[in-house]
Chains A and B, each alone.
Chain A
Amino acid sequence: GESVGLHLPTLSVQEGDNSIINCAYSNSASDYFIWYKQESGKGPQFIIDIRSNMDKRQGQRVTVLLNKTVKHLSLQIAATQPGDSAVYFCAENMSHGQNFVFGPGTRLSVLP
């Protein structure tokens, strides 16, 4: 289940199950969104992106859903593997040169 820890929300899932990580973004004018994965000691790694003219985009084992009405973004990971354990960040951006604004992050723990 999902819980709020001292520093980061944590999602624990069994290996092989599907994971859903949620993100509430802040700016209704944002039109480009990215999910990043950050492993310990590493920089954020691009997973998948979506533009505001879409509500769903699929990659390899990952799907991003965008609900602009409620400013909500989710990342679905199919058949979660131990290598998926990391902190996941959503990032939003408005066009015309604005920097990305990152969400607070969710730690995904994959249980054997």
Chain B
Amino acid sequence: GEEVAQTPKHLVRGEGQKAKLYCAPIKGHSYVFWYQQVLKNEFKFLISFQNENVFDETGMPKERFSAKCLPNSPCSLEIQATKLEDSAVYFCASSQDAGGNQPQHFGDGTRLSIL
């Protein structure tokens, strides 16, 4: 599609439950990025993909967080055993390029609320 599509818009989970977020990048974009935004401020980079391959996972918490981009499927970000501190808006972005030459285009995010 012409826009990055993220689902669901809002996800509510009890502490300790699993949360799974989805992202469909813009058609033709081979790079996908996940960011976490807390309190409408800082964007924390989590992970990026080049097609279905992990490109950069330096921002990804080692425990509980995982992500995939499989062919012909939306990309996903999964959080196991959620904690209150995971409450944030998670943004997905896609780009034709790894980052140095083309802008990243963002979806409208998934607001994750952990109760």
Contacts and interface: CB of A to CB of B under 8 A. Distances in A.
A105 B41 contact: yes
Interface in A75-91: 87, 89
Interface in A26-56: 31-32, 34, 36, 38, 41-46, 49
Contacts of A99: 33, 45, 48, 56, 59, 99
A87 B33 CA distance: 21
Contacts of A100: 33, 45, 99, 104
Interface residues of A, number: 28
Contact of B105 (A7, A8, A46): A46
A98 B99 contact: yes
Contacts of A94: 100
B103 A8 contact: no
A97 B99 CA distance: 6
A93 B42 contact: no
Contact of A43 (B59, B98, B109): B109
A93 B99 contact: yes
Given A43-B91, A44-B91, A89-B43, A97 B56 contact: yes
Interface of B: 4, 6, 33, 35, 39-43, 45, 48, 55-56, 59, 91, 93, 98-101, 103-109
Given A7-B41, A36-B106, A46-B103, 9 more contacts: A32-B100, A41-B108, A43-B107, A44-B106, A99-B48, A99-B56, A99-B59, A101-B45, A104-B42
